[in-house]
Structure formats: structure tokens, C-alpha cells
Amino acid sequence: MKLSAQTTTIVAALAVFVGLPILFYGLGDAPRRTLLKEVISVATLLAFAAMLGQFFMARSNTLLLSVFKPPQIQKVHKYIAYTAVGVILLHPVLIVLPRALEGGVRPWDAFVTMITTFDSLGVVLGLVAWVLLLVLSVTAFFRKPIIKRLSTHYRGWRYVHGGLAVSFTVLALWHSIALGRHTDAPMAALFLALALIGFGMLVKLYMPARPKQPVPAQTQAGAAS
Amino acid sequence: MTIKSINGCIGCEECVKSCPCDVIRMEGGRAVITYPADCQICHLCRMYCPVDAIEMSPEKSIPVVVPWG
């Protein structure tokens, strides 16, 4: 059976952004908890991997552009944004939600304690990353009126979107490595590698090689004679 | 050993306050199991940790009392 380039790309993307996080989760030595908590953990890991995948679902990925049409990539980018961003934005609530089914601290009290513990760098990073993601998603949702107001139009908005995405990813990655239950060395290495490749592709797209200085006409004439 | 590990501590000190046997102490802004032999398996630290960071040894655990019995 001969696979098409599109099928191969989709399978490779699923293997990297779904298969590997689940594999590392399964091989990790984090203590197993109730089914609900484990489902929430896996959903959060996959959502974060999908967020990293957004760097690859963009015009910076020339390989993908040679296989899929830009509107197809845009559509997948948008669908991932609606689902993964939703899970990540709900992440602070999802941490405390299972407490409603247990004795001990109530979900609201746990939530307040969690988001007001500013002594922990991991919590502060997570809070800032959450706010950045909120700004990222709101500006993406209202991109049309924002693009109209920007003097640089669509290109300017792309800079804002890319900058916010990189800022969010750096803080969220740091937060997950500092506090994440399942972010052990292999999972951290995977997330870090995906983030660095994604950043590299953005840099390559937005910082092209500086154009060569035009050679003065006199020098050209001198060289010719 | 009864209380097994603390993974993903945010340093809120709720476990330190809830432990009746002074098993957990704060070190460098994080909760650390300092006197594990004193643990009475009351589960209060685990129940009051807002981020569910505390794990108990399963072989020594007792069923958690819930309001519906």
C-alpha cells in the first residue's frame, strides 16, 4: 500500500503530537490516581502538545505548505485553537474540580489557595501564561477589527500573534517543567524540542537574511575598466 | 513509610498546617516529608493539598471517608 504525502504527514503529526506524549505519560513513574484525574491529566498534556503543534500549523512550515493548501492548514489551526486553548484555559479549574467528589478541601477553597500562592515561581509563571493565552485567544478571535486598526495591517497582526504565542509557550513550558506531575525528563525534552523547532521556524520566517547592500555605481564602473 | 511523596508542591503550606504529627516541614519554599515515621495515615495533608500533590503508600492507605458514607 502506497501512502499519499498528505496521509504520511497526518500520521507523522499524530505520532509526534499525540503518540509521543501518551507514550511518555504511560512510561512515566508519576503515581496513578482516579480515572477522572488521569483523564484530565492526559487531556491537558495533549492540549499543550497541540498548542506546540500550532507553530507547525502555520505558514512558517514550508514542508506542510508543499503538501496542504493554506486554507486547509488555517482551518486545522483554528480548530486546534478552539479545543486546545479551551482545555488550557480551563486547566486551573480542572485541577480542583475532582475535589468536589472527595472529602477534604472544597474546590473553590483549593482554587483560591492555588492562585494566591505567589511564593511559588511555578504558580506565578502559570498565572502569567494563562493571562497571555487569554490575550492571545481574544486577539485571535477579534483579529479582523484589530488588523484594520494596525498600521501594518495583517503582517503587523502576525507579529503580535507570533510574539504572544512565543511568550505564552516559554512561560507555560517553564511552569509545566517546574510543577507538572507528568513533565518528567522525556516529556520535558519532547516539549522543549517541539517549542525550539517551532520558534526556529518563526525566526526563519520573520527574520530573513538581510538584503545585500547595493554596490555603488563608481565601484562597478572601476571594476569593469 | 506511610506518606510516600510530594510531587508538584506549590508551597502553600496547607499540608504543614493540617498535619497533626508534624511530619511535613517547609524547606526552600516547598513541603518536604521530614518525619515519615510519625505519619498516622490520617490523610489530612492529602485531603487539604489544593493541587493534589501528596501521595500515600497504597499498602498503608485507609479508605477516604466521604460525606455519603
| pLDDT per residue as tens digits for the range A132-141 | 999 999 999 8
Per CB-CB distance under 8 Å, the chain B contacts of A110 are: 50-51
Mean pLDDT, residues A193-220: 76
Class of domain B3-60: alpha beta
B7 pLDDT more than 80 = yes
Asked, for residue A214, whether it belongs to a domain, the answer is no
pLDDT one-digit tens code per residue, A93-130: 999 999 888 888 899 999 999 999 888 899 999 999 99
3-state helix, strand, coil in chain B (%, to 5): 25, 20, 55
This prediction's pTM = 0.83
Asked, for residue A219, whether it belongs to a domain, the answer is no
Per CB-CB distance under 8 Å, the chain A contacts of B66 are: 102-103
B6 pLDDT more than 80 = yes
ipTM: 0.76
In this prediction, residue A109 carries a pLDDT of: 92
A14-39 burial, b for 16+ CB within 10 Å, e for fewer?
eebbeebbeebbeebebeeeeeebee
- Higher-pLDDT residue of A175 and A215 is A175
Per CB-CB distance under 8 Å, the chain B contacts of A126 are: none
Backbone angles phi, psi at B6, to 5 degrees: -125, 115
Give the dihedral of Cα atoms A39, A140, A125, A108; nearest 10 deg: -50
In this prediction, residue B62 carries a pLDDT of: 62
Asked, for residue A199, whether it belongs to a domain, the answer is yes
Domain count, chain A: 1
- The domain of A174 spans 5-205
In this prediction, residue A220 carries a pLDDT of: 54
**Which of A103, A117, A122 is facing B66, going by the closest CB pair?**
A103
Please check whether residue A31 touches B, CB under 8 A.
yes
In this prediction, residue B16 carries a pLDDT of: 93
Please check whether residue A165 touches B, CB under 8 A.
no
In this prediction, residue B1 carries a pLDDT of: 53
Asked, for residue A211, whether it belongs to a domain, the answer is no
- Among chain B residues, the shortest Cα distance to A29 is held by B7
Q: Quick count: other Cβ atoms within 10 Å of Cβ B67?
A: 6
Please check whether residue B62 touches A, CB under 8 A.
no
In this prediction, residue A1 carries a pLDDT of: 61
A171 pLDDT more than 60 = yes
